[in-house]
């Protein structure tokens, strides 16, 4: 086992106790400071001690043994108090831990609106990439895209780099059918999550502007579908009217049959009701980085990963050996002093 691998599996429960190992050095420095006095008797004692040690060299050897024993005792005691632990990884359960995050990303035409800079879709992609970067290595991330129909971009996976690559390459016109059919997308996402029984927890996140026709009727249809899914919604866009660019020409605006420019408003009512009715949470994406409470505090990613990592491993305590060594050196020191 290499040194790097050793440090990956051995940790100290209370590393501040290692400071006790510095006590011999502090005592040695303090002793020399006090002995540096220019008092005549101190100088005399120093000269006599040197003459005495030259006459009896065995005493000098004992002094060196005392010093070595003191150093070993204090260092061993400090290591024992620091609580060294050895992580024995449980490979049988390693792959059965970690959470699953499934993103449902809205690719309807209204997501191309530029009230969010540069667009709502690009802002949603940036938030999705941020989530991928904050997940623990044991967590899995999957993405489903929807417009007129739902399509799986990639299934839940621990490969965060691949997830980021796929998210960065999402294009507004990559789905064949235009529209905003959210119920089929939710149903498909439910069936996808049901395939994973080995996750600690499952989190479903809808990133959308909520701009859906007949939103109350859609909410009623979703309630009647009785989905066993807690939907966490992240609202992107502004609440004011925003012109919707055309897919075919990004410099032109999408127009209705009357020739009027199609505008879009972020529908907080729909997204909030969808989250509340399903037991999820509703958040708004603003211009502040990592402002979503769901991403930053829902699971406390870093802390929970440390705890789950400890749970996945069998921790073997190593302080006994250091404590025994300290006791042996302690008794040896006193036996040597009694000679």
Q: What is the pLDDT of residue 44?
A: 46
3-class DSSP state of 82: helix
Q: What is the pLDDT of residue 3?
A: 47
pLDDT band per the 50, 70, 90 thresholds, residue 291: very low
Looking at per-residue pLDDT, the higher value among 301 and 132 belongs to 132
Q: What is the rounded average pLDDT of the residues 203-224?
A: 90
Q: What is the pLDDT of residue 8?
A: 54
Q: At what angle do helices 319-337 and 57-82 cross, to 10 degrees?
A: 160
Q: What is the pLDDT of residue 43?
A: 45
Q: What is the pLDDT of residue 275?
A: 92
Looking at per-residue pLDDT, the higher value among 141 and 261 belongs to 141
Calculate what percentage of the chain has a pLDDT beyond 70.
Answer: 73
Q: How many CA atoms lie less than 13 Å away from 32 in the CB half-sphere?
A: 5
Tokens 């051995």, residue? 10
Looking at per-residue pLDDT, the higher value among 173 and 273 belongs to 273
**Helix spans in 109-247 (H):** 120-134, 160-168, 182-193, 215-225
- pLDDT per residue as tens digits for the range 164-179: 999 999 998 888 888 8
Handedness of CA 227, 233, 235, 239 (dihedral sign): positive
Q: What is the pLDDT of residue 180?
A: 86
Q: What is the rounded average pLDDT of the residues 4-33?
A: 71
Tokens 């999408």, residue? 254
CB 144 within 8 A of CB 185: yes
Q: Measured between alpha carbons, how far is residue 219 from residues 190, 223, 272, 290 in Å?
A: 16, 6, 11, 28
Residue 129: burial class (beta carbons within 10 Å; 0-12, 13-18, 19+)? middle
Q: What is the pLDDT of residue 292?
A: 45
Q: What is the pLDDT of residue 257?
A: 78
Residues forming a β-bridge with 204: 102, 231
pTM for this one?
Answer: 0.59
DSSP sequence for 291-309: --HHHHHSS-HHHHHHHHH
Residue 270: burial class (beta carbons within 10 Å; 0-12, 13-18, 19+)? buried
What's the CATH class of domain 94-310?
A: alpha beta
For the chain, residues classed under CATH 3.40.50.410 are 94-310
pLDDT surpasses 60 at 225? yes
Q: What is the pLDDT of residue 24?
A: 73
Q: What is the pLDDT of residue 336?
A: 61
pLDDT surpasses 60 at 331? yes
């Amino acid at each position: 086992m290499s040194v790097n691998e050793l440090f990956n599996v051995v940790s100290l429960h209370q590393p501040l106790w290692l400071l006790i190992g510095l006590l011999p050095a502090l005592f040695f420095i303090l002793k020399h400071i006090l002995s540096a006095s220019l008092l005549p008797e101190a100088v005399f004692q120093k000269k006599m001690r040197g003459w005495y040690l030259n006459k009896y060299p065995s005493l000098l050897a004992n002094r060196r043994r005392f010093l070595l024993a003191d150093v070993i005792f204090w260092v061993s005691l400090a290591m024992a108090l620091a609580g060294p632990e050895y992580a024995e990884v449980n490979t049988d359960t390693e792959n059965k831990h970690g959470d699953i995050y499934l993103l449902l990303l809205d690719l309807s035409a209204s997501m191309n609106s530029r009230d969010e800079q540069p667009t709502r879709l690009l802002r949603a992609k940036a938030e999705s990439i941020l989530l991928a970067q904050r997940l623990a290595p044991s967590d899995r991330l999957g993405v489903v895209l929807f417009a007129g129909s739902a399509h799986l971009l990639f299934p839940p996976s621990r490969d965060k780099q691949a997830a980021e690559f796929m998210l960065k390459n999402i294009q507004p016109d990559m789905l064949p059918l235009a529209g905003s059919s959210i119920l089929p997308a939710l149903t498909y996402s439910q069936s996808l999550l049901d395939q994973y029984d080995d996750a600690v927890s499952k989190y479903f996140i809808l990133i959308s502007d909520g701009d859906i026709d007949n939103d109350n009727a859609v909410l009623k249809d979703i309630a009647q579908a009785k989905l066993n899914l807690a939907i966490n919604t992240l609202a992107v866009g502004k609440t004011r009217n925003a012109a919707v660019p055309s897919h075919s020409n990004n410099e032109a605006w999408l127009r209705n049959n009357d020739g009027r420019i199609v505008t879009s408003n972020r529908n907080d009512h729909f997204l909030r009701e969808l989250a509340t009715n399903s037991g999820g949470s509703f958040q708004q994406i603003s211009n502040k980085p990592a402002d979503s409470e769901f991403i930053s505090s829902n699971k406390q990613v870093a802390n929970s990963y440390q705890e789950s990592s400890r749970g996945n491993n069998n921790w073997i305590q190593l302080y006994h050996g250091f404590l025994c060594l300290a006791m042996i050196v302690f008794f040896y020191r006193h036996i040597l002093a009694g000679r």
